Amino acid sequence: MSEEIPLKPVTRQDIHKLEIALLIATLFRPEVLDLIRDPSERVTWLDSLAVAAAALARHKAGMSTTEIADELGRSEGTIRNHLAGKTKAGKLVLETYEKFVREGVKIPLPEEIVGATAPGEVTRLKEENERLKKENEELKRKVEELTKENEELRKVIQQIKSLVGKA
């Protein structure tokens, strides 16, 4: 299901759609994935990208730097730096927006995600899961049968021991 992402948002909902698209598309860029793999930098990067994406979406909706800063709880200087691409996060988000303008809003998924979620792979995994569930149920049934059989054999052995003891 694809949803229209407005590049010049008008409503709050439009702003949020653009903000999320910018954030996700920027996060999935290979260089950003490399940057956020470092756990010590991850939170800082995610926060900076989120603020940059939120600022740009609001800027494209016509909000002033002051309004954006107030809404996002950041300084006007931080917002201006993100919007001007003076921060790395701001630069990356601006590049993502420019790509949206040139090519339309397309969010390519990283290979590690695509490989795991390809439709054929999902179908194959579901079928395998069902097969394994059936196999598991069959094995449980066999274990129950063998447990009963084992108990019966123990009783027979006990009876034989008792008879041998009497003889």
Q: Are 57 and 18 in contact (CB under 8 A)?
A: yes
Which pair of tokens denotes residue 120? 């054929």
- The pTM of this model reads 0.62
pLDDT of residue 115: 54
Q: Are 1 and 95 in contact (CB under 8 A)?
A: no
CA angle (85 as vertex; 104, 23 as ends), nearest 5: 45
pLDDT of residue 34: 80
pLDDT of residue 128: 87
What b/e sequence results for 64-78 when a residue is b if at least 16 CB atoms lie within 10 Å of its CB, and e otherwise? ebeebbeebebeeeb
Q: Which of 45, 14, 11 is nearest to 27 (CA)?
A: 45
**DSSP 8-state assignment for residue 39:** H
Helices (H), the chain: 12-27, 30-36, 39-60, 65-72, 76-83, 88-103, 111-117, 119-166
Residue ranges of the chain whose pLDDT lies below 70: 1-3, 108-119
Q: How far apart are CA 78 and CA 131, in angstroms?
A: 55
pLDDT of residue 54: 95
Other Cβ atoms less than 10 A from the Cβ of 19: the count is 23
